[in-house]
Amino acid sequence: MGRIMMGSNLNYYENAYVVKNCFQINIVIMDDSILLFLCGLQSFALAVFHLFFWKILRWKTELAKLGVVNRGVMQIMNVQLIALFIAIGVACFYFGGTLNDGAVGRFFLGAIAAFWGLRLVQQFIFLKQNHWVMHVLSTVFALGAVLFGWASFV
């Protein structure tokens, strides 16, 4: 559960807290179970996306241009990322209740947020293309940084 305490100004509704400030504006703060569900969903979606890299990026022809070591490293890195994203998704879905209750879980969530923040920065360093797909990917990476970062503090 979230750790926001506002005394009598706090009302609990299902999976969200609604905090009423002095202007009677409702601010919804997500329960950590919803937040971790979204983190897991993002991780599983990226695992599926990476499964299609061979087809999307035409790796059969594009990787053939590389030497055997570089070709192998690219594919190994992709398979390892798929496994990592699945593990993160499983952790968020099945161990969400304990992920943000202790220092190790919070470190894990913060580290994943840093991973996505760094990935976003690298997007602009290594993939300098003004294409809508790059903008969508940048948004997904930023979303990962925000979701996991938020989850590490809730």
Please give the single-letter amino acid code of residue 60: K
d(CA 61, CA 40): 33
Domain edges within the chain: 1-30, 35-153
Mean local confidence (pLDDT), 5-34? 52
The confidence score (pLDDT) of residue 8 equals 42
d(CA 43, CA 112): 10
| Res 10 pLDDT > 50 | no
Residues found in the chain: 154
pLDDT band at 139 (very low <50, low <70, confident <90, very high): very high
Continuous H helices in the chain: 32-51, 53-56, 59-62, 68-94, 96-99, 103-126, 132-153
Quick one: what percent of the chain has pLDDT higher than 90? 69
Sign of CA dihedral 69, 71, 75, 80: positive
